[in-house]
Structure 1
Amino acid sequence: MIKAKIDKKLELKFRELAMRRYGYSKDAISRAVEDAILKWISLVEKEQISFEGDPIEAIKGILSDVKFES
C-alpha cells in the first residue's frame, strides 16, 4: 500500500479524471494510480543517466574543499 500527500486541487482533478476514465466504481482510483505509476516507471527507465570522465576525479573535486583531520 502506498500513502502520499498531494496538493488538494491535484487530488480532485485526478479523482475526476479517474472516474471519467474508469467509471464510478470503488476501484477507479486504484486503477488510475496503478496506470500512472506504470507510466512513470516506464518513463524513468527510458532515461539514460550517463557520466563522462573519471568518477574518482569527480569525487576528488567534490571533496576538494573538505578538510580532513585525524
Structure 2
Amino acid sequence: MGDRWRVEVDRGVCIGSGMCVNTAPGAFALDSARQSRPRCSETDADEVVLAAAEGCPVEAISIAVRGSGEPVFPPED
C-alpha cells in the first residue's frame, strides 16, 4: 500500500459504538460525547485502519488517498 490516507468520521452518523477504537486504538478515539474521531487526519495506509472503517456499523468512517482524493472506503460503486 505505500499511500497516505485522509481519514474522516462523519459525526452526524457516528453512534459511538467504539468498534473503531477497539479495532484500531492508535488511530481512533472517542471524545466526551462518545463520538469517534481520528487521532490524526492523515495516516500511512494501514490495514488496521481499513478494518476499523469496514467494521463501523453505520459506515461513519471514510478513507481517501491524500492528494488524489480517490476513495479507499467506502469504495465507489
TM, length-normalised to structure 2: 0.25
Structure with higher Rg: it is 1
Q: Which has the higher helix share?
A: 1
TM, length-normalised to structure 1: 0.26
Q: Which has the higher strand share?
A: 2
